[in-house]
Structure 1
Amino acid sequence: MEFQVLKFIAACLLLACTTLQADQSPLRFAINDSWGMPMVRIEHDTAVEGILVDLQRALAAKVGREAKLIVLPHMRVERAMDSGDIDVRCYVSPSWINAGHKRFIWTRPFMSQRDLLVSTEPGSFKVEELQRERIGTVLGFNYPRLQPLFERGQLFREDTRTQDQALLKLRAGRYRYAITNEHSLAWFNRHQTPEQRLFAQSVLATVPVSCIVRNEPDVPVLELLHAMEQMAEEGRFDQIINEYR
């Protein structure tokens, strides 16, 4: 009888330890390898610094977990979402991704992003005024305002693997215009001489940027949503972003 009781206690302890271990497993965050600084710097397939690295580690710490940052090619990120291989994806907007991810819940936005048309010369005009121009873009990225212009042949995509490459090719004269965002443009220009800096021509869109969380029992969904609200109230998002201005 005593032996059976001991076996029962041992089984309960094993179950409790297994549950605790599962509860403390790292949260898996997707890192798109097309991104560049100040969002993320990637070395040897590892995310080492940037706004998203700091934000995701802070978010995981808020819910008592470690952050596992998984670097993936852009075209594989959505497949990883569909297969449940990641728990959280940050730096997304509804217009950028497949609307069919019903197993994911949107958090509050942590920043707004202005997408820009940029060139090597100062100026100010709308993208719709351009004719038969090649535009520096990033492979797999969606540009809703430009899509009708691409479809009717008024403009042409010139895809690169990363945001940094799109700006470097613009600087090198491979095309006269490219699409980027205000944070990437500011980071690029701070590392250029005054003569090499790029200029914003117009704002294409201003979009709220959020995270999406896998809605499954092994993910602390409510805690993550609450943590995002807390971080906003504490000014943590602005603090992280300002460190990279």
Structure 2
Amino acid sequence: MRLLPLALLLLSAALGAEERPLRFSVTESWAMPMMQIDNGKASAGILYDLQMRLAQKVGRRAELMVMPRLRVQQMLVRGEIDVRCYVNPAWLHESHYQYIWSVPFMVQRDVLVSRVHDQPPPPAQAQGELVGTVLGFIYPRLEPLFASGHLRRDDARTQELALEKLEAHRYRYAVSNDMALQWYNRRQPPARQLQAISELSADLVACIVRDAPDVPTMPLLRALVQMSNDGEFEAILAKYR
């Protein structure tokens, strides 16, 4: 009979260990509709809904860790993040061999943006122009122009701040993903709305999941496939369009 309390204690400890939250990285430069961050905590948005639903599907709690992009990279290298969503292989500086890629869940379209009534010249003709960008973001189509000094980056901490500076006439161009631009224009009168003048890139984005014994790696990857097949990704995106 003495073995029963010990068995219950061991079972309780095992269940407690299984309940460790899944650590999702959240880059502090994200803006709505991708992520709402209030006082350093993620609270809403496409990626918030996606990550909370993903954790729910595997029976775990989600810990959304908000941090600068550089720290995200460092923690990935050390294996201190379980899941990172909204990423493309071309955006990573490291191989992250300890992570497995999921199915893609959306396409990010980066566009060059200007004010509605402006007619700035094409970037190739805009010698020395400032371009509103986000700190740490990579823009492959524009990188050669930045490297040569033909264009100059003006880095903002978040995507929303980059658009606000464009509206405030700090520069004539900015780069934004199309969904962030649409969200920003929602609260602007027609005369102050911003316009996309050209598409710079269209990249499939997915999640990477740490392949380790303390992470339900395959259940997470299967859950993402199931969400894709069941239309859950599209339902989340539609909520914020």
Alignment TM-score, normalising by the size of structure 2: 0.94
For residue 95 of structure 1, give the secondary structure of its aligned residue in structure 2: helix
Q: Where in structure 2 are the equivalents of 1:56-205 lying within 5 Å?
A: 56-121=51-116, 127-205=123-201
- What's the offset of the Cα at 1:125? 7.4
Deviates more, 1:92-101 or 1:167-176: 92-101
- Aligned sequence identity (%): 49
For residue 191 of structure 2, give the secondary structure of its aligned residue in structure 1: helix
Q: How many residues align?
A: 240
Bigger Rg, which one: 1
Identify the match of residue 39 of structure 1 among 34, 39, 44. 34
Paired residues of 1:29 and 1:70 also in contact (CA < 8 A): yes
Distance 1:208 1:181 in 2: 13
Paired residues of 2:28 and 2:68 also in contact (CA < 8 A): yes
Distance 1:17 1:127 in 2: 62
Which ranges of structure 1 fall in alignment gaps of 5 or more residues? none
2:95 alignment partner AA? G
CA RMSD of aligned residues (A): 1.7
Paired residues of 2:114 and 2:120 also in contact (CA < 8 A): no
Q: Deviations over 1:201-243 (max 9, x none)?
A: 1100000010111111110010011000100111101101111
In structure 1, the partner of 2:44 is 49
Distance 1:170 1:76 in 2: 27
Task: List structure 1 segments (4+ residues) > 4 angstroms apart after TM superposition.
Answer: 8-12, 122-126
1:58 alignment partner AA? R
Which ranges of structure 2 fall in alignment gaps of 5 or more residues? none
Alignment TM-score, normalising by the size of structure 1: 0.93
